[in-house]
Amino acid sequence: MTADAFELRRCVRQHFLGRISSVIFDPGYRNHLALIADGYDVSVFLDDKLQDGCITADPDEGFVQLRAFLGSTATTDMRRGAVSIRISKKSAARRP
């Protein structure tokens, strides 16, 4: 299936202005679930650098919490700075 000529317009990146989290008891969990359910790709940036393994991001508080692995031990790492949550709508061609 190929995308139509207007498909590129739907992939415009937008900023999300709230807290997101993959932790079920975190206040940002509902936001994260809603974005994923609505078909958005979510990218978290700290000081304009993409953050992989992000657990929680809060632009208002200015922090991200990341998964960190020290050998075989999993821990979390909190970093502070300018946080930006960027979302883009998944294209119909990429959906399973």
Yes or no: say if 83 and 59 are a contact pair by the CB < 8 Å rule.
Answer: yes
Q: What does the pLDDT average to over 78-88? A: 94
Q: pLDDT confidence of 68, banded at 50, 70, 90?
A: confident
The tokens for 47 are 């000081």
| Predicted local confidence at residue 91, as pLDDT | 63
Secondary structure letter of residue 95 according to DSSP? -
Residues 6+ apart with CB under 8 A from 15: 84, 85, 86, 87
User: 4-13, 29-38, 76-85: which range is least confident on average?
Assistant: 4-13
Q: Rounded CA gap, 43 and 53, in Å?
A: 10
What predicted TM-score, i.e. pTM, was given to this entire model? 0.76
% of the chain residues with pLDDT over 90? 60
